[in-house]
Structure 1
Amino acid sequence: MNLFNDIRALVIDCLGAMAAEGALPQGLETAAVTVEPPRDAAHGDMATNAAMVLAKPAGQQPRAIAEALAARLAADPRVAAAEVAGPGFLNLRLQPQAWQGVVGAALAAGKDFGRTTIGGAEKINVEFVSANPTGPMHVGHTRGAVVGDALSNLLAFAGWDVTREYYINDGGAQVDVLARSAFERYREAHGLSPEIAEGLYPGDYLIPVGEALKEKFGDRFLNAPESDWLPVIREVSTEAMMAMIREDLAALGVRMDVYSSEKALYGTGKIESAIDTLRGMGLIYEGVLEPPKGKTPEDWEPREQTLFKSTAHGDDVDRPVKKSDGSWTYFAPDIAYHFDKVQRGFDQLIDILGADHGGYVKRMKAAVAALSGGRVPLDIKLIQLVKLYKNGEPFKMSKRAGTFVTLRDVVEEVGADVTRFVMLTRKNDAALDFDFDKLQEQSRDNPVWYVQYAHARIASVLRKAGATLDVSDAALATADLSKLDHPAELALIRKLADWPRQVEIAARAHEPHRVAGFLTELAADLHGHWNKGNDEGSLRFVQDDPATMAAKIALARSVGVVISAGLAILGVTPVEEMR
C-alpha cells in the first residue's frame, strides 16, 4: 500500500473526468503531477501541484483548475477537505480512517511493506568496491562497499533485478608491485632480511603470503631472475589478496554475485572488439591532443595516439585508448569491460567509485552511451572520504596494513551493523566523520543507537502486552484501528505512510542514505510519542482495555515493521533489546 500513490491516482482520475467533460483539454501530460506531504504540516496532509503544472498546457488559470479539482477530490470518502492556496496549490486533508488503514496494511505486508515494482524487473548491474587486489580493504573501500550493497538491496526491494559485481583490477602495474613486495616476504620466510624499497607494499599482511610461497615453492625462486618468478608470484599473491578481500567483505555482510577480472580482457580479443566497435561508428581516430590544463606547449610533447571521440557523447575532450608505443591506455580495458556488461543484457549500469575518479565520469558515460546506442544509462556514484576520530584525535593507521586504517580495524572496533549504518548517514558525495566515541554514546547524537533503541522499545512493549494479548501480526491486523484517533497517533501513522514513497524516491535517485535518514526521523517520532505517553496515559501502548490496547500495540508493531524493513535494506540487524 502506498497511500500517496493512491491519492495521486485519484487526482489523475479526477483530471481525466474533467477532460472528458470538456473542463480540461484532452491528452494533457500528467507525468509531472505529484502528491507529496506539504512543506508545512499545518497546511494539510498532502499537497498536489496538478493545477500549477497543467495550467500552461491547458491554457487556463491554475486557480480555476485547482478549484474544479478540489470539488471533485472532496467527494471521495478518503478526503476530508480539499483547499486551494495561493495561485493554485491544492492542499488535502484525509479522513482518519484513511490513515488508520496504513497500520493494517503494514501488519498485513510485514517485511514487504513498502516493497514496490517500479523497477519492472529490469536488469541492473551495480559494480562496487573493485579495490586493487594489493592488500586489505581500507576505510574508503568500506564506505563504497556499504553504499553499493545497500543500494543493491534498495533496488531489489523496489523491483529491479540486481547483479552485484566486483571488477578485479589485476591487469596493471600495481600487481607487479604486489608480486615484488610478496617476493621480499618470501625471502624473509627463508631467514633473509626483506628489502622493502620505496614503492613496495610494507604491510605485515604479506608475511603469511611469503610463508605460503616458501611452503609451495621451497627455495626455487631465491636466486632466480625476476622474469622467472614474477608471473608465478603475481598470480599466487593476487589470489591470496582476493581471498583476504572476500573475507573482509564477509565481515561487513557484503556478498558479490560476480567477480570480473581485468586481466581476462587481455589477449582474448575483448579490448580489440570494443575499440573496433567504436571504430565502426566513426568514433576512433588517430590524432594529437592539446596540452593538458596547466601544461604549456613547451612542457608538452605532442604525440599521435589512437583517440576515442568521446566529445561526441558529452565529454570535454577526446580520450586516448592506445599510446603512441602501441600499448593500451588504462581506459581501453575499462571500455571493454563496460561493453561486456552491455552485451550481457543489462538495462542499467551503476559504478560506485572513489572520489579520485571524478575525471573518469564523463569519458566512461560517453563510452557506454556509444557502445549501447544510448540504450543503457550509466550512473557513477563517487564516494567521498571518511575521517576517523577517536579520543578527539584522528584514528591511527593500521600497523598491519602499513599505511591506512583497514575495514577490519573498523568492524572489529564497533561491529558490522554500526559500521554500515554510520556509513549511510550522509550522501555518498559528502565527506563523512566517523567518531568512535560518539558511537559509544546512548543518545540521539548516535543515530545507530537511536534507531535500534526505537526497535527495542517496540519489542519490549510487545513482550509486555503479550502476557494478556495475542500480539501476532495477524491478530493485531484485526484490531479496531478506529481507536487510533488521537492527533499524536495520526501524526505517527502519517510518518509510517510516507515509507513506501521514500523507498521509491531513494531507489529512483540511487540514494540509500535516504533510508537511514527516514529511519532516524521515524525513530524520533516513536520516541517522542513514547514520551508523550509518560504525560498522557491515553497515549501509552499498554492499556487496561483489551480492544484499545490491541489498536495501540498494532500501531507500535507497524512502526517496528518499517524500522525492520528499512534496516534490512541497510544491511543492519534490528535488535530486540538494548544491552
Structure 2
Amino acid sequence: MNLFTDIRTLVLDAVGALAAEGRLPQGLSTDAVAVEPPRDPGHGDMATNAAMVLAKPAGQNPRAIADALAERLRADPRIQSAEPAGPGFLNLRLAPSVWQGVIRAVLTDPAYGRSTLGQGRRVNVEFVSANPTGPMHVGHTRGAVFGDALARLLAFAGWDVTREYYINDGGAQVDVLARSAYERYREANGLSPEIAEGLYPGDYLVPVGEALKEKYGDTLLDKPESEWLIPVRDIATDAMMGMIREDLALLGVQMDIYSSEKALYGTGRIEEAIDRLRSQGLIYEGILEPPKGKLPEDWEPREQTLFRSTAHGDDVDRPVRKSDGSWTYFAPDIAYHYDKTQRGFDLLIDVFGADHGGYVKRMKAAVSALTNGRVPIEFKLMQLVKLLKNGEPVKMSKRSGNFVTLRDVVEEVGADVTRFAMLTRKNDAPLDFDFDKVLEQSKDNPVFYVQYAHARAQSVLRKAREAGIEVDDPALEGVDLSRLGHEAEIKVAHTLAEWPRLVEIAAKGAEPHRIAFYLYDLASDFHSLWNRGNDDSSLRFLQEGDVDTSRAKIALVRAVAVVIASGLGILGVTPVNEMR
C-alpha cells in the first residue's frame, strides 16, 4: 500500500471522468500530475497540482479545472474535503478511516514500504575500495556505511543489487607497502627497521614482518629488492585485505565480489577495453596542452596515447598509455568498468571519497563510450568526517601511523551507533562525529532518539502481554481502529503513510540519509503521543477496563515498531527492545 499513489490514482480517475464527459480534452498527458504533502500542514493532508499542469494543454483556466476535480473527488468516501487554493492547487483532507487503514496495512502487509521501483534491474554498487595498505580509517567508515545502506535501500526498492570492492593492488602504493613490510621483516630478524620517509610506519605491519620471518627465515635479508619485492608484496597485500575484511565484518558489511586491479594486467583485458575505444576512433596519439594555472616544473610536452574523452562530455582528453609504453592508472580503471558493463548491469554506482571529484567526468566518458550510452554510471562522493572528543578534534594521519581506525570507532561506540551516526548527513556534506554526542541519551542524538522509540514501543507490548492482551500481528488484524481518532494518533498514522513514498524518493536520489531523517520524525511523533498521555489519560496505550480500545492503541504502537525496525534494517542497524 502506498497511500499517495492510491490518492494520485483517484485524482487521475477524476481527470479521466471529466474527459469522458467532455469537460476536459481526451488524451491529456498526466505524467506531471503529483500528489504530495502540502508545504503547510494546515492546508490539508495532501495537495495535487493536477489543475495547474493540465491547464495549458487543456486550454482552460486552472482554477476551473480545480473546481471540477474537487466536485468529483468529494464524492469519494475517502475524501473528507477538497478545496481549490491559489491559482489552481487542490488541497485534500482524508477521512479518519483512511489513516486508520494505514495502520492496518502496516500490520497485515509484510512488504509495507517496499517498492517495485527497481523492477528487478541489476545495479552494481562499488564502495570502500580502499588501497590495501593498512587498516580502514574513519573516512573509509563513512563510505562503507553509505555504500552498504544504499545497497540495502535499492534492494528494498526492487533492485537486484551487487556489492563490489575493487582492490587497488596494481599500483605503486602496494610496492610502498612491500618495502614497508620488508622493514618489519628485518625488525623481526633482530635488525632495526629503516622507516624512510614515504613508507608506512604503522605498527599494523609488525605481524606481517613476523609472518614473513616465519615463512622465509632470514633468507630474504641479503637478497636485492628485485627478488623479494613481489613475494613480500603478495603476502603483505593479502594480510591487509584480511584486515580490511575483518573491519568490514565488524561494521556489518558483506561484499558480494572482490575484484583485483592486479588481475587485469597481463590478461589482455586492458588491451581489450582500449581496443573497444580505438574501434570508435576515440584512441589517438597526441600531446596534451599544459595544465591550466601554474605550470609544474617537471612538465614537458610529450606524445602519449590519449582517450578522446571530450567526445563524451569530459573537459580534456585523458592519457591511457605513457610515453614509456606503460599504462596510466586510468587504463585499468577503464578495463575494470568495461568488465562491469559486460556482466550485464543496468546501472553502475561508484562511491568515492571527495578527493576523487576530478575522476568523475573522465570515468563517465569512458563508460558512455564503452556502452554507447546504454549503461549509466552515477558517482556518490563522500565528504570528510571530523572526529571530536571532549570538544576537541581527533587528528589522524595515515602515513604517520597515528590515525583513528574503523575498529577504534566501532569498539568505542558500537557498530549500530557508528552506522546511524554516519547517515545523519547527506553524503556530500561534511560530517562531525562527536564521540560524546553519539552516546548521549537525549533528543539531540538521533541514534538514541530512534532506538528509544522502538524500545518504548516494545515496552508497551510487553506490558500488554502481562495484562493478558494479545499483541501479535494476527491478533491485531481485526481490531476496531475507529477508536483511534485523536489528532496526535492520526498524526502518527500520517507519518506511517509517508514511509512507502519516502522509500521511493530516497531510492531515486540514492540518498539513504533520508531514511534516518524519516525515522527521527516518526520517533518524534511517537514520543510526543507518549508524552501527551502523561497529561491526558485517554491517550494512554493501555486503557484499564477497555480491552478493545487498548488493542486499537496497541495496534498503532505495533505499527510504529514495525516501520522503525524496517527503516533501521535499511540502515543496517539492529533495533533495540530495551534501553540500558
Class of the TM-score when normalised by the shorter of the 2 chains: over 0.9
CA distance in 1 between counterparts of 2:531 and 2:292 reads 59
Q: Per-residue deviation at 1:294? A: 1.1
Q: Equivalent residue of 1:253, what SS?
A: coil
What is the match of residue 130 of structure 2?
Answer: 131
Partner of 1:109: 109
Q: Distance in 2 between matches of 1:135 and 1:222?
A: 23
Offset from partner CA, 1:163-218 (integer Å, 9 cap, x none): 00000000000000000000000011111100000000000000000001111111
Asked whether the equivalents of residues 146 and 427 of structure 2 are also in contact (C-alpha less than 8 Å), the reply is: yes
Alignment of 1:283-322 (within 5 A): 283-296=282-295, 300-322=299-321
Partner deviation per Cα, 1:118-175 (whole Å, 9 max, x = no partner): 1100000000000000000000000000000000000000000000000000000000
Distance 2:240 2:34 in 1: 50
The 1-side partners of 2:237 and 2:23 are apart by 70
1:38 touches 1:45 (CA, 8 Å); kept in 2? yes
**Which residue in the other structure is 2:556 paired with?**
555
Aligned match of 1:519: 519
How far apart in 2 are the matches of 1:524 and 1:259? 40
**SS of 1:353's equivalent?**
strand
Does residue 12 of the first structure (1) align with residue 12 of the second (2)? yes
* TM-score (norm. length: structure 2): 0.98
Q: 1:401 to 1:507 in 2, by over 3 A?
A: farther
- Do 2:449 and 2:523's aligned partners in 1 also have CA atoms closer than 8 Å? yes
1:78 aligns with 2:53: no
The two structures have a TM-score, normalised by structure 1, of 0.98
For structure 1, the residue ranges without an aligned partner over 5 or more in a row are none
The answer for the alignment partner of 2:473 in structure 1 is 473
Matched with 2:433 is: 434
1:336-347 to 2 correspondence within 5 Å? Answer: 336-347=335-346
Q: Which residue of 1 aligns with 2:277?
A: 278
Answer yes or no: is the 8 Å Cα contact 2:200–2:399 preserved in 1. no
Return closer, same or farther for 1:400/1:445 CA change in 2, 3 Å cut-off: farther
In terms of mean alpha carbon deviation, does 175-184 or 274-283 score higher?
Answer: 274-283
Alignment of 1:162-311 (within 5 A): 162-296=161-295, 300-311=299-310
Task: Give the share of equivalent positions with the same residue, in percent.
Answer: 75
Kindly state the Cα deviation for residue 296 of structure 1 after the two structures are TM-superposed: 4.4
Distance, in Å, in 1 between the alignment partners of 2:179 and 2:278 is: 38
Q: Which moved more, 1:288-297 or 1:50-59?
A: 288-297
Query: d(CA) in 2 for partners of 1:356 and 1:399?
Result: 15
User: Are the structure 2 counterparts of residues 280 and 244 from structure 1 closer, same or farther at C-alpha, using a change threshold of 3 Å?
Assistant: same
Equivalent residue, structure 2, for 1:30: 30
* Deviation larger for 471-480 or 410-419: 471-480
Q: Which moved more, 1:479-488 or 1:127-136?
A: 479-488
Q: For 1:457, what is the secondary structure of its paired residue?
A: helix
Pair 1:499 & 2:508 matched: no
Q: For residues 532 and 129 of structure 1, do their structure 2 counterparts lie closer, same or farther at Cα, with a shift above 3 Å needed?
A: same
Deviation of the 1:262 alpha carbon = 0.5
CA offset digits 1:302-326 (Å, max 9, x no partner): 2222111111111111111111222
CA distance in 2, matches of 1:320, 1:336: 14
* Residues 1:231 and 1:299: Cα distance change in structure 2 (over 3 Å): closer
Do the aligned partners of residues 482 and 437 (structure 1) sit closer, same or farther apart at CA in structure 2, a change above 3 Å counting? Answer: same
CA distance in 1, matches of 2:264, 2:32: 44
Contact map agreement 1:84 1:91 (CA 8 A) in 2: yes
Q: Which amino acid aligns with 1:10?
A: L
Tell me which moved more, 493-502 or 75-84: 75-84
Backbone CA RMSD of aligned residues: 1.4
Structure 1 partner of 2:152: 153
Q: 1:78·1:94 contact (CA, 8 Å) conserved in 2?
A: yes
Q: Please name the residue that 2:442 is paired with.
A: 443
Aligned equivalents of 2:61, 2:277: Cα separation in 1 = 51
Amino acid at match of 2:89: F
Matched-pair contact (CA < 8 Å) for 2:198–2:399 = no
Residues 353-379 of structure 1: CA distance to partner in whole angstroms, max 9, x if unpaired?
000000011111111111111111111
**Which residue of 1 is the match for residue 565 of structure 2?**
564
Aligned partner letter, 2:437: K
In 1, distance between residues paired with 2:235 and 2:20? Answer: 72
Measure how far apart 1:19 and its partner are: 2.5
Please give the alpha-carbon distance, in whole angstroms, between the structure 2 residues aligned to 1:18 and 1:403: 70
Over residues 462-489 of structure 1, what are the superposed CA-to-partner deviations in whole Å (9 max), with x where a residue is unaligned?
0001122000011112110011111111
Q: What is the rounded CA distance, in whole Å, between the counterparts of 1:72 and 1:550 in structure 2?
A: 36
**1:382 and 2:381 are equivalent in the alignment:** yes
Decide whether the 8 Å contact of 1:38 with 1:44 is kept in 2.
Answer: yes
Letter in 2 for 1:526: F
Q: Specify whether residues 29 and 283 from structure 1 end up closer, same or farther in structure 2 by C-alpha distance, changes over 3 A only.
A: farther
Aligned amino acid, residue 571 of structure 2: L
Shift of 1:54: 1.9
CA 1:320–1:399 in 2, change beyond 3 Å: closer, same or farther?
closer
Q: Which moved more, 1:441-450 or 1:15-24?
A: 15-24
Q: 1:66 to 1:396 in 2, by over 3 A?
A: same
Q: Is the 8 A contact 2:45 2:91 kept in 1?
A: yes
Aligned length: 578
Cα distance in 1 for residues equivalent to 2:274 and 2:530: 63
**Residue 135 of structure 1 contacts residue 401 of structure 1 at CA under 8 Å; is this kept in 2?**
no
